[in-house]
Chains A and B, each alone.
Chain A
Amino acid sequence: MALASPVAAALATGAVGLVVFPLLGRSPLAALHAFFVAPLATRNGLAELVLKASPLMTIATGLAVGFRASVWNIGAEGQLVVGAICGGGLALYFEGAETRWVLVLMLMAGALGGMAWAAIPALLRTWGHASEILVSLMLAYVAPLLLSYLVHGPWRDPQGYNFPQSKLFDDAFLFPILVPGTRLNASVLLALAVVGLGWLVMGRSFLGYQMRVTGLAEAAARYAGFPTARAVWVGLLAGGAAAGLAGVGEVAGPIGQLTPSVSPGYGFAAIIVAFVGRLSAPGIVLASLLMSWLYLGGESAQIRLALPSAITGLFQGLLLSFLLAGDVLVSYRVRLGRVRAAHRPAAEARPAGVCQVDA
């Protein structure tokens, strides 16, 4: 049942497409073709699919560490931006240094930057019981302002005709292209390494076990003496580091400079990827490809059918909604009719509602 729900959600999302496209005045078959088939019909399309999946799987792996422990970092978008700023700043600082090691430094700086941004909600949660959901989300809207200030001000390219963007990074500082003629670069290898590391830590390490226990039964974690504050820190920092790496992957990959926008919402989409992928490594890889496909389909639908760009967000949202609904319906049965409180044993006692446990 755990696997049925993501598949059913994907199918349901496609089914809604069949309804939405005619409403927008497009032939549903042509639209589905433009959305789902056309983007993958070329070698370049496939390369783009993997390219866009890389940051998604990186971030989703980091987020899954926290999600397993019920630490809800939903501000990966901000952590990605701060990672891009830190990595990009180094690239600008070392301009002309003609060594590939700068990329390594940029990655480290990016990871640290993302962690620093994620440390703020961790600190406020462990010290002040502030909800990490709200704090991390709000900070996701602060980080782009910081980036905007930098590229409009101190880091603006003097020869850039006043466009709000930095100088182009040296070629030596960029991820090498893997498939000539496409934008697919070595950051995908980094992404796979992150996924592998995430699998090792969450599946096999004692730390991962402690995080899982904390997420499943906090009282059991307290009973065993697993520090719950550490779970908050590890969960948020892992997400921050992964998002920061993904940010560097973007600016040292397809973008090649700092611009006011360095991500089409990868940080948010990765939340969906993590859940659709059931927080597991193979699932996250598959789900990141699916989500990437939706991005490409949305772009393709804009170009070929002149559909609004919101179509991408629409399908992403639908996918998550269907998944969450599917998860609820796997465990609960909807009973229609007059709600009546039955006298039942304490183990099942719950305020009467329309949902009844279907055990």
Chain B
Amino acid sequence: MSDGPASGGVPRLELRGIRKAYPTVVANDGIDLAVQPGEIHAILGENGAGKSTLVKIVYGLIQPDAGEIRWEGRPVEITGPPAARRLGIGMVFQYFSLFETLTVAENVVLALDDPGDRTALARRISEVSARYGLPVDPMRPVHSLSVGERQRVEIVRCLLGAPRLLIMDEPTSVLTPQAVAPLFETLRRLAAEGCSILYISHKLDEIRGLCHRATVLRAGRVAGRVDPRVETASALARLMVGAELTARERPAEAVRGEPRLVVAGLSRPAADPFGVDLLDIHLTVHAGEIVGVAGVSGNGQQELLAILSGEAPLAEAASIRMLGVDVGRFGPARRRRLGLAFVPEERLGRGAVPIMSLADNALLTAHRRGMVRLGFTRPGRARSFARGLIARFGVRAAGPEAPARSLSGGNLQKFIVGREIAQEPRLLIVAQPTWGVDVAAALRVRRALLALRRAGVAVLVVSEDLEELFEICDRIAVMARGRLSPARPTRETSVEEIGLLMSGAASPSEDGAGSRRREDPAVAAPA
């Protein structure tokens, strides 16, 4: 961090003609990129555009097939993450790699190549966290930290190595709107001290507000190099997608039908010690409307979803009414027979069996659609169903026989969402419908959800993506600390209001205001 702020001298990092090809796809093709000291440089692109591959090459996790990496003017070979760290490259991953049962300091020790003395380390952690506005207590166990705090631990862990290039992979995907601002403050301070930052995101507003320069990737190639501060969001999106984004399809006024999902006063203590207690949940979803549940994950969404899907059935039947039937005690199979379809948050291992083919994974929940006869499976039917999903939802896969784990996260998500939608449900519950899905595919998924709504299906969407919820939902409720706020019509609320409700979970001082709002009995008496 000895270098001065951004200047036109020798770049801190320069990539020349980087190429990385996999058997079926060229992930990076002739990528040139230069990052100056103190520069916050955005790498922008859809999922599958090659962003992750590129930064993994920089961090030494992947070796390029061709091209040159120059570090401060010298050609270097980065053989692995330790080599990258020795050069002064740090990376904060999108998904955290922290051990929940260990303390912050212990997690930091595990990640350091040369930890040194423990007590001195704890002091250094405190110093670094104070200096960059990243308050964390080194002695707290990680499981007691919020998602935002965990991210701070990851960043602090990187900063202890005094990096001169910090790679941030989609850092805001897990944060509340209120937690984003302090993170940006930290990043700006780092940049001002001369640390270069590679910032990966698909959120255009963030990049325009934070980054000095942006390299836009599309299908493995550089689609453009721009100053995001002067470009419009739609110009950036055009570079990313390669075509003009179609205008948002504003949902027309809902034609509300009968209530298809009614949760009335559901309370349930958490089953496991790190879980969240659900407290007096009221929720109604009518035919022909999309209701969104916003909130930072870990506030009871998982617990609520497991209860709604039937994976965690209840003792009393009446607390959940689904399609006119009290289903509290039903398992997932009986609820699905009534017309429920469900997309879980975890794709591999829950929404799909990793080593099974897509055809076999179609059988998982869509087997009622003629894939089983006299107790025997009909592999031909499952294959053609899978082939149909691949075509209809643009799933990039080798074919119906490709194992689920061979798909990228976004493509598997398209497959799973498609599988549930194709079952023509009467009630659809979706967790994180477009999480990790590229812009074009996200559009496709959202359109499919809106089409279901028009067809009179009741849809419940649990998502961390506020933009998405505001785009498709008729009403939005907020999950915070195991409580669910009354669902507010989307037109009558704002991102700020929802964000406030979300952060009510993070800081106890705001809980009073939040609780008063939650006690508003607007939805307690459904039609």
In contact, A216 and B111 (Cβ under 8 angstroms): no
Interface string of A29-59 (1 = CB under 8 A from B): 0000000000000000000000000000000
Interface string of A317-359 (1 = CB under 8 A from B): 0000000000000000000000011111111110110000000
Q: Closest chain B residue to A222 by CB distance? A: B311
A206 CB contact (under 8 Å) in B95, B309, B376: B376
In contact, B364 and A204 (Cβ under 8 angstroms): no
B377 within 8 A of A: yes
Specify which chain B residues have a CB less than 8 angstroms from the CB of A127 in the assembled complex.
none
Known: A219-B346, A343-B157, A347-B95. A224 touches B377 (CB 8 A): no
Q: Closest chain B residue to A352 by CB distance? A: B110
Q: How far is the CB of B148 from chain A (nearest CB, A)?
A: 17
Interface string of A213-233 (1 = CB under 8 A from B): 100110110111111000000
B363 CB contact (under 8 Å) in A209, A222, A227, A348: A209
Stretch at the interface among B273-281, B330-338, B444-452, B481-489: B330-338
Q: Closest chain A residue to B365 by CB distance? A: A224
- Total number of residue pairs linking A and B with CB closer than 8 Å: 92
Q: Which chain A residues (181-221) contact chain B, with CB distance < 8 Å?
A: 204-207, 209, 212-213, 216-217, 219-220
Q: How far is the CB of B42 from chain A (nearest CB, A)?
A: 21
Known: A220-B364, A223-B351. A207 touches B332 (CB 8 A): no
A69 to B466, CA, bound (A): 40
Interface string of B359-391 (1 = CB under 8 A from A): 010011101000010011100000000000000
In contact, B353 and A220 (Cβ under 8 angstroms): yes
Specify which chain A residues have a CB less than 8 angstroms from the CB of B346 in the assembled complex.
219
In contact, A217 and B95 (Cβ under 8 angstroms): no
Q: How far is the CB of A212 from chain B (nearest CB, A)?
A: 8
Specify which chain A residues have a CB less than 8 angstroms from the CB of B335 in the assembled complex.
225
B177 within 8 A of A: no
A341 to B355, CA, bound (A): 28
A346 CB contact (under 8 Å) in B96, B333, B349: B96
In contact, B331 and A345 (Cβ under 8 angstroms): no
Known: A341-B110, A346-B93. A225 touches B367 (CB 8 A): no
Specify which chain B residues have a CB less than 8 angstroms from the CB of A349 in the assembled complex.
97, 99
Specify which chain A residues have a CB less than 8 angstroms from the CB of B339 in the assembled complex.
none
Q: Closest chain B residue to A345 by CB distance? A: B93
A345 to B55, CA, bound (A): 13
Specify which chain B residues have a CB less than 8 angstroms from the CB of A226 in the assembled complex.
333
Q: How far is the CB of A263 from chain B (nearest CB, A)?
A: 33
Q: Which chain B residues (337-361) contact chain A, with CB distance < 8 Å?
A: 342, 344, 346, 349-356, 360
Specify which chain B residues have a CB less than 8 angstroms from the CB of A217 in the assembled complex.
349-350, 353-354
Interface string of B407-418 (1 = CB under 8 A from A): 000000000000
In contact, A216 and B355 (Cβ under 8 angstroms): yes
Specify which chain B residues have a CB less than 8 angstroms from the CB of A220 in the assembled complex.
349-353, 364
In contact, B377 and A346 (Cβ under 8 angstroms): no
Q: How far is the CB of A171 from chain B (nearest CB, A)?
A: 39
B113 within 8 A of A: yes
A170 to B97, CA, bound (A): 69
Q: How far is the CB of B351 from chain A (nearest CB, A)?
A: 7
Q: Closest chain A residue to B80 by CB distance? A: A342
Specify which chain A residues have a CB less than 8 angstroms from the CB of B309 in the assembled complex.
223
Q: Closest chain B residue to A342 by CB distance? A: B81
Specify which chain A residues have a CB less than 8 angstroms from the CB of B367 in the assembled complex.
206
Known: A204-B377, A206-B367, A343-B157. A216 touches B354 (CB 8 A): yes
Q: How far is the CB of B350 from chain A (nearest CB, A)?
A: 4
Q: How far is the CB of B75 from chain A (nearest CB, A)?
A: 24
Known: A205-B375, A220-B352, A225-B331. A345 touches B97 (CB 8 A): yes
A345 to B59, CA, bound (A): 11
Specify which chain A residues have a CB less than 8 angstroms from the CB of B311 in the assembled complex.
222-223
A307 to B103, CA, bound (A): 58
Specify which chain B residues have a CB less than 8 angstroms from the CB of A224 in the assembled complex.
332-333, 364-365
Known: A219-B350, A220-B351. A343 touches B97 (CB 8 A): yes
B310 within 8 A of A: yes
In contact, B81 and A344 (Cβ under 8 angstroms): yes
A52 to B364, CA, bound (A): 39
In contact, A209 and B332 (Cβ under 8 angstroms): no
A223 to B350, CA, bound (A): 6
Q: Which of A206, A346, A351, A352 has the most CB of B within 10 A?
A: A206
In contact, B336 and A225 (Cβ under 8 angstroms): yes
A344 to B311, CA, bound (A): 32
A116 to B352, CA, bound (A): 35
Q: How far is the CB of A311 from chain B (nearest CB, A)?
A: 38
Specify which chain B residues have a CB less than 8 angstroms from the CB of A225 in the assembled complex.
310, 331-336
In contact, B332 and A342 (Cβ under 8 angstroms): no
Q: Which chain A residues (302-318) contact chain B, with CB distance < 8 Å?
A: none
Q: Closest chain A residue to B363 by CB distance? A: A209
Q: Closest chain A residue to B56 by CB distance? A: A345
Specify which chain A residues have a CB less than 8 angstroms from the CB of B372 in the assembled complex.
206
- Which A positions have Cβ atoms within 8 angstroms of B? 204-207, 209, 212-213, 216-217, 219-220, 222-227, 340-349, 351-352
Q: Pick 13 A–B contacts, CB within 8 A, sort by A.
A: A207-B375, A209-B360, A209-B377, A216-B353, A219-B346, A220-B349, A222-B332, A225-B310, A225-B334, A343-B81, A343-B85, A343-B91, A346-B97
Known: A205-B377, A217-B350. 20 other contacts (CB 8 A): A204-B376, A205-B376, A206-B367, A209-B360, A213-B356, A216-B355, A216-B356, A217-B354, A219-B350, A220-B349, A220-B351, A222-B350, A223-B364, A225-B310, A225-B332, A225-B333, A226-B333, A227-B331, A342-B111, A343-B157
The 9 closest A-B pairs by CB, nearest first: A225-B333, A225-B332, A346-B95, A349-B97, A219-B350, A343-B111, A341-B110, A346-B97, A206-B372
